[in-house]
Amino acid sequence: MSNLLINTRDQQFVLFEQLGIEKLFEYEKFADFSKEMVLMMQNEAEKLAVNVLLPAYADGDKEGCTFKDGKVYAPASFHEVFKKYVEAGWLCATESPDVGGQGLPIVVTTACVEFMFAANYAFITYPGLTHGAARLIEQYGTEEQKKKYMYNMYGGKWTGTMCLTEPGAGSDVGALKTSAKRLPDGTFSITGTKIFISCGDHDLAENIVHPVLARIEGDPPGTAGISIFVVPKYRVKDDGTIGEFNDVRTGNVEHKMGIKGSATCTLNFGDEGKCIGELLGKERQGMRIMFLMMNSSRLQVGMQSLGHATAAYEHAVQYAKERIQGVPVWDMKNPDAKAVPIIQHPDIRRKLLWMKSHVEGIRALIYFTGLCMDLAKVSTTEQEREKWHGLVELLTPICKAYSSEKAQLVCSYAIDVYGGYGYCSDYPVEQYFRDCKIASIYEGTNGIQCLDLVGRKLGQRKGADVMNMFSEINASISKLKRIEDLKRHVAYLEEAYNALIDLTMHFAQLGKSAGFLMPILNATPYLEILGDVIIGHFLMQAAGIADEKLNAIYMERGVEESKGKKRALIHEYPDVAFYYGKNAAARFFAVDILSTVKSRCEAIKFGERVPIEMAEESFTY
Ligand SMILES: Cc1cc2nc3c(=O)[nH]c(=O)nc-3n(C[C@H](O)[C@H](O)[C@H](O)COP(=O)(O)OP(=O)(O)OC[C@H]3O[C@@H](n4cnc5c(N)ncnc54)[C@H](O)[C@@H]3O)c2cc1C
C-alpha cells in the first residue's frame, strides 16, 4: 500500500543500487551502520511521518500562526508533533553522540527525513532551523556558548532561527542596518529590525536563540564589515536557567500564500536598548560563519522541493488510477465505449511521466550530494576531501534552484491531473503547490543562486569542481553507450553533455572579455541546462542498472526471447514493474528534455543582448 508520499522502493534503489552507500560503512566513522539498520530507520521515519506529521499538515495550514498581545502561537497540533519528532531523535540525527546526536550518515538521514519534508514541511521549519543554528554554535561558539545554548537546542528544549533579512537588505545582505555596540563586559547591545524571520517567535519552546547578522559600530560597510551574534529571546543565567526578557519583540507575523504553520516574523531587537548579543566567532566574520547555515539550509530547500514534488506526484498517480472520465482515444467513435480511468489518456500519462522523471532525478541528485558530504567527512587525503567538498559546493545552488523550479511544475501538473478538484482545498495538491512556491525565494532567491553558480562555483578551484562533475557524467556515458537498448537515448545525453561543455568553455572565455555580461544575463537558463544534464545522467545511469536487473530476471525466468512474456512479468513481479519504470523515466527525459539542450545552448551562444539594451520605458509601452 502506497503511503501517498514517497516511493520507498525508489529511495532504496538510489541508496543501494545506484549510489552503493554501503561503501560508507567500511569507514570507521560509520562502521556501526548496515543496510538492515538503514531500512529499519527508514521504516521508523515513514511511520512517524505518516502517523504524526501528516495529520497536522492540512490542520496547520488552516489554523496558521496567531499573533496576539505581542506573542506568537504556532498551530496547536504542532506541539505534540514537535515533542514526538524530538523524542524520536531526528532533530540532530547527523550530529555526534557527544552532543546528543546519533552520528548518522547525511545520505541516510536525507532519505529518512524526506518523509518528514513530504508529510509536513511547514512543521519541519522549526526543528530544521534549530538544528542549523545549533550547528553554528557547535562549530564557531566558545565552550561556554556551547554549554549555554547548543545542548538545549540539539535537545529540542529551545529552538533557533537565522536572522539576515531587513527591509532594505534582502538579496543585498551587505546593506544591513542592524548595529552592535560594544559593552564593557565584552557583550554587545543589538539594535535593529529583521523581517521575514522563519520561526522567529512561537510557543513551541521556552526560549528561542537567534543568530543575528549586525555591524559593530565603526566597522566598514558591505559584507566585509558584518559580524554575527547569538541573541536569545530570554537571557540565560549562569546556572543555565532562563533569565530576564532580552528585548527581542515581535512586530508582526506575515500572512502568506503557503507554509502558514511556519511563523514568519518581524523581529525588533533592542527597542528599549536592552537587547544583549554575544559575538559568535571572530569580528567581521559574520558572513563566512552564516554561510555554514545558509549552505545547509539551501540543501534543505532542495529537500523541501523534493518533499512537495514526491507527495504531489504520488497523489496524482493514485487519483489518475481512480478518476473515471472520457473514453479511450482509440475507441472515440464507438458510441458504446466505456469511460476509463484518466491514467489511460496519453496526455495524462505524459504529464505523470514528466513528474516521475523529475522527482526521481532530483532524488538521485540530492542523495548524491548528501553522499558527497559524507565522503568529504571520511576522506583520508586533503585532495579527496577537496574533491567531495567541491562537488557539494557546486551542487548546492542546483539542489536549491533547479529542484525548486521543477518541483513547482510538478505540483502544478498534479493540480492539472486532478482537474477542478485539484484547485480546491478538499485535496492536498493545491497546498503542495502553495507551500512549494517559497522555495524559489528564500535562502537566496533562485536568481541569486544562478549568479552564484556562474559567477563563483563554475570557476572555483580553477574549474576543478565542475570538471569533476563532468568527468562523472562522461564516465556514465562511456559505460551506458554499450547497452544496446539505451543507445539512442544515451546519444541524447552525450549530445547535451557536449553542448554543455562547449557553452561552459564559451562562458569562461567571455568572462575575460567585454562580453562578461552574457553569462550573468544567462545564468538562469545555464543553471537549468546544467541541472537537466546532471539529472539526465542520474536517470540514464539508473536505467542502465535497471536494464541489467531486468535481464537477470528474464534469464532466470527463461523469457529472454519473447517481448510479450517479458512484459507479462510486470504483473507478476513488482520489481519488474519498478525497473520498467526506471527505464521509462530515463527514456522520456532523454527525448523530452535532453534533446532540447543543444539548441538551448546555441541560443545562449547567439549572444542576444536585448534584455540588457532595451530601454526601461519600453517594458511598459
Ligand atoms: C516565508 C519566508 C520565510 C523567510 N525566512 C527567512 C529567515 O528565516 N531568515 C531570513 O533572514 N530571511 C528570511 N526570508 C527572507 C528571504 O530570504 C528574502 O525574501 C530573500 O532573500 C529575498 O529578499 P527580498 O525579499 O528583499 O527581495 P529582493 O532582494 O528585493 O529581490 C527581489 C528580486 O530581485 C532580484 N535581485 C535582487 N538583487 C539582485 C541582483 N543583484 N541581481 C539579480 N537579481 C537580483 C531577486 O532575485 C528577486 O527576484 C524569508 C522570506 C519569506 C517570504
Ligand 1 atom at shortest distance from the alpha carbon of 441: 20
- Check if 102 has its Cβ closer than 6 Å to any atom of ligand 1: no
- Check if 169 has its Cβ closer than 6 Å to any atom of ligand 1: no
Quick one: cell of 357? 522523471
Q: Rg for the chain (alpha carbons), in Å? A: 25
Quick one: cell of 378? 571520511
Question: How far is the C-alpha of 433 from the C-alpha of 413, rounded, in Å?
Answer: 10
- Check if 264 has its Cβ closer than 6 Å to any atom of ligand 1: yes
Q: What is the pLDDT of residue 539?
A: 98
| Fold adopted by 8-154 | Butyryl-Coa Dehydrogenase, subunit A; domain 1 (1.10.540)
Sequential DSSP letters for 295-308: HHHHHHHHHHHHHH
Q: What is the pLDDT of residue 14?
A: 98
- Check if 163 has its Cβ closer than 6 Å to any atom of ligand 1: yes
Ligand 1 atom at shortest distance from the alpha carbon of 194: 11
Q: For ligand 1, atom 44, which residue shows the shortest CA distance?
A: 447
- Check if 142 has its Cβ closer than 6 Å to any atom of ligand 1: no
- Check if 449 has its Cβ closer than 6 Å to any atom of ligand 1: no
Q: For ligand 1, atom 2, which residue shows the shortest CA distance?
A: 196
Express each pLDDT in 280-314 by its tens digit.
999 999 999 999 999 999 999 999 999 999 999 99
> Is the distance from CB of 127 to CB of 91 less than 8 angstroms?
yes
Task: Return all residues near 144 (Cβ < 8 A) that are at least 6 apart.
Answer: none
Q: How many C-beta neighbours within 10 Å does residue 555 have?
A: 10
Phi, psi of 156 (to 5 degrees): 80, 10
Q: What is the pLDDT of residue 563?
A: 87
- The helices-and-strands tally (H runs, E runs) of the chain is 22, 12
Q: What's the 173 CA to ligand 1 centre distance in angstroms?
A: 9
- Check if 523 has its Cβ closer than 6 Å to any atom of ligand 1: no
CA-closest candidate to residue 93, choices 142, 45, 46: 45
- CA-to-CA dists, residue 373 to 62, 314, 330, 525, angstroms: 37, 29, 51, 27
| Residue to mutate (ligand 1; options 196, 231, 291; most atoms within 8 A of CB) | 196
Quick one: cell of 176? 544591513
Q: What is the pLDDT of residue 2?
A: 66
Task: Return all residues near 11 (Cβ < 8 A) that are at least 6 apart.
Answer: 42, 111, 114, 363
| Residue to mutate (ligand 1; options 228, 405, 445; most atoms within 8 A of CB) | 445
Within 484-522, residue ranges assigned H as helices are 487-510, 517-521
Q: What's the 206 CA to ligand 1 centre distance in angstroms?
A: 29
Domain limits, the chain: 8-154, 159-289, 458-621
Q: What's the 170 CA to ligand 1 centre distance in angstroms?
A: 5
**Running along the chain, 621 residues long, what does each successive block of 10 average in pLDDT?**
84 98 97 97 96 97 97 98 97 94 96 97 98 98 97 97 98 98 98 98 98 98 98 96 97 97 98 98 98 95 98 98 96 95 98 98 98 97 97 98 98 98 97 98 98 96 97 97 95 98 94 81 98 98 97 92 90 94 98 98 96 94 82
CA-closest candidate to residue 251, choices 267, 275, 263, 234: 267
**Nearest 10 degrees: Cα torsion 272, 168, 457, 14:** 70
CATH number for the domain running over 159-289: 2.40.110.20
Q: What is the pLDDT of residue 1?
A: 46
- Check if 188 has its Cβ closer than 6 Å to any atom of ligand 1: no
Q: What's the 164 CA to ligand 1 centre distance in angstroms?
A: 10
